[in-house]
Structure 1
Amino acid sequence: MAHENKTALLDPNSWDLQLTPEGNILLTSGNLAIAQNLANEIRLWTNDAYFQQENGINWKEAQLAKSLDTTVLSQVIREAGNRTQGVQSVDSVTVTEFDEENRILHGEITITTELQETLTFNF
């Protein structure tokens, strides 16, 4: 039987850990874990994760103090997806909200996982 990676289950609205009634951290695996890890990779700045400094996107180099370019943003997010464990391919990245003044970015990403399932979710 192949090893299946597990990750802490996060609340999609608050990004907080989910706990059992006993106070234990809930875990998730499979496609939900892959999608959640990719969402985390997109949201994280490099050097933010204490034990995994290389994870995340170097947003400072990519876009900080520059005019935002949706093509560049889409490519940076695609690259983050391609290096996320469990992602076989990034099929599309679409920027759906782009507020340069307030530096707000939302979009939709479609991936194919190593489990051969296609997932689409918002970031």
Structure 2
Amino acid sequence: MTTTFMLDPDTWDLVVGPDGNYVTLTGAAQIQQDVCSAIRTFQGECWYDNTQGMPYFESIFGQPVASSFLKKQVQNAALTVPTVTGATLTNLTISGRKLTGTVVVTTSTSTTPIEVNF
């Protein structure tokens, strides 16, 4: 698995530890943040792989959208994270331009499901 730098949950900016180095995540915390990042990524945003991300501009924001479509998009985004083998959406809210919810993921490295709030 790749290294994940910790992002501040309020600003989504990198976190620097007391030693002056970037803080990294492992285990469940890494999976949680990586899933959140996958769901927050706009399709086409990643210049190294513009197929990643959710189609916010193309198919979600500014138009009526079926909850089944949103559910599938969130689950597919979660499944792009290495080691995630399953994703079940348990809560989803869209208000204006803000999508929030909870997805429970299973991984190939843990027998305990991981709850991810995004």
Q: TM-score, normalised by structure 2?
A: 0.85
> 1:18, CA displacement in angstroms?
0.9
**Structure 1 segments of 4+ aligned residues over 3 angstroms from their partners:** none
8 Å Cα contact 2:93/2:101 also seen in 1: yes
The secondary structure found in structure 1 opposite 2:11 is coil
1:58 and 2:55 aligned: yes
1:106 and 2:100 aligned: yes
Q: Taking every aligned residue pair, what percent have the same amino acid on both sides?
A: 24
- Structure 1 unaligned regions, length at least 5: none
1:122 and 2:117 aligned: yes
Residue correspondence of structure 1 range 23-62 to structure 2 within 5 A: 23-62=20-59
Cα distance in 2 for residues equivalent to 1:86 and 1:12: 22
Q: TM-score, normalised by structure 1?
A: 0.82
Give the alignment's Cα RMSD to 1 decimal: 1.8
Q: How many residues align?
A: 117
> 1:29, CA displacement in angstroms?
1.8
